[in-house]
Structure 1
Amino acid sequence: MEDYYYDRTRNLSGINYVDLTGFCPSYGMQVTFRAKNDTITYDNNYFSKNPKTINSVTAEFSLSYDVNEKGAQEIANNLESLSGQNSFVFKTDNVIYKDLSGYCDGYGIQHVNQDSYTVNTNIFVDEAPNLFNWKNTNFIEYTYKEWSDGETYEQDDVIYYNNSEIQWDNFYYCTGDHVSSASNSPTGASTAWSQEFYWQPDVNMQNNVNFTTAKFNGVWEQRMKTKKHIALVPLSYTFAGISKKQLLTMLHFLELKGGYRRFRHQIPTVYNKPKIYICNEWVHKWNNPESHDLTVSFEEDPLGIMPKNVPVGGTIPRKIVGSPDTFFGGFDGGFDEPNLPTA
């Protein structure tokens, strides 16, 4: 009877300890990135976002391991030994993501048959200092490269071009295959590089616009516009079956924005006014090594202002209010505004 008296923190004995980097998850792995921000709201639907911590971008990996009984025992024994309070290094695919350190709150085992088991688990990466590692990134496999003249570049290449004192503002994304020259450099007149979110989502997307109005209840309900920017356009895009290279470039773009930094985006259809967005959450599903799904959620910033690039050696004020436009080289609404009818 003494065999039944044991601490149920551990349900296995006599199992060799193994490192989880020895197991690779099955196809169907999903990763959800979220930003932890402090948000302050103002009149007219204006807002500001700032990261809560230096580890403001977190990732939740939903992983499955298809193994035999011995493998299921080893994974379960390893996770139980960590008790949810100790971090550990785990492997994803070594192509999209680095080996990462995270925490596991639990696991499940699907008993397919006597020789086949699927271990399901969620691993949380919430101690990655994304605000510090701008050069080599925290999550994705990325090789830092600087722009050079006479080089052959392909669409979705990522390069660093020293044009601003803010290092993370110096990354550019290739919009088409070309051989580099001064004219098509990131600052050239016929540039082949962009810092906008230029990727096109799948067809059949839907967006919803909800008007912000005040309602006064009485015999007849009355409605009144009491603020500006009442028709913001949030977006949720899905990119299905994209290549590994496109995925890596988009993940680099999103990780570098940190879930709070603004970027330009022109909605590809219907809307013809330029937009400034923030991406607070994005989800990657790994179908197979060359096919990936990516879903992004955008929040529109009604202020619609981004500081222009400040050249190396320029002065960057600590706040916009009270600072002359010359500090920014003028304000840039994100695009050259076309001749549009006034609202």
Structure 2
Amino acid sequence: MWGLALDSVISADVVLANGTIAKASKTQNPDLFFAIRGAAGSFGIVVSTQVKTYAAPSSATIFNYNYNLNINAATTALANFQTYAVSNIPAQLGLEIVLSKGSSRGTVNFGVTGGWYGAANQLNVTLQPFLGPLGNPSWKTVTPGSYLDSAKNLAEGSLDTSNPLGQHDTFYAKSLVTPQSSPMSQTALKAFATYISNNGYDANVGWFLQIELFGGSNSAINVVATEDTAFGHRNSLFAMQLYAYSWDSNPPFPAVGFTFIDGVADSIVKNSPANWDYGAYEPYIDDRLANSEFLYYKTNLPKLKTLKAQFDPTGVFNSPTGIKP
């Protein structure tokens, strides 16, 4: 509905590699403004930002529907999700699929979760084309309220930042960004559903997979031109986070976790056309990802490399997964 967080940035103060502070906006240092909106860590330290604000919606509903599906049903549901995503769904709908270990081998836990920022009484009719064929969920929660209520709900009950929870995890995450112009094929979806239903049940590691809706006909994310910001995925349909963790959240991370998560990504990529224009999502950083620069930044990479050499010629802000000049 409002695009990415970086799309709301109006200006920023950035400490550069030479120790100076630069103002970045559309009118001041526009090349730096381009770079920090999507690749800031490679260019400087952002010490302040000015952002556009929006009127809070008059209604906000957080929802969760949960199903346990077999391979065929999961494949069909994923295909229907793609079809539904590119239909004329309202911009007020934020939606993702959350997948986890099923109740038995050959099944997967299929969660549908998100936020609806239209009138509360319109949620059911909005979701019906997608949820209707899934039948009755094993459980569901639908929580209408104010926008502030929804923010607290998504923050697990409190917006108090004075006392962080102190929680940590030991995990490995990969990502896939799927193109709207070339959705995942039926072959890829079946291979993906088969792998997570079988190998996911057998894997001796905790895991979940999120398929987050970025695209669709009313997406504010895809309205922005690719060349306007460093974020290179303005023709995306889904951003997928593939996440595995140690059972007790403590080190060491089990080697089987790498194998399983690599296999999840491969089940899609290796069953898609050789020239499939997929990418990766830089916030789900992956230091084992081959060709990471291109997969993160796509057609914006050449410009970012040029700007890296200009703003950070000695590599003060170099990192293993950052922009290289």
Q: TM-score, normalised by structure 2?
A: 0.28
Please tell me whether Structure 1 or Structure 2 has the larger radius of gyration of its CA atoms.
1
The one of the two structures with greater contact order (alpha-carbon pairs below 8 A, sep at least 6) is 2
Bigger share in helix: 2
Q: TM-score, normalised by structure 1?
A: 0.26
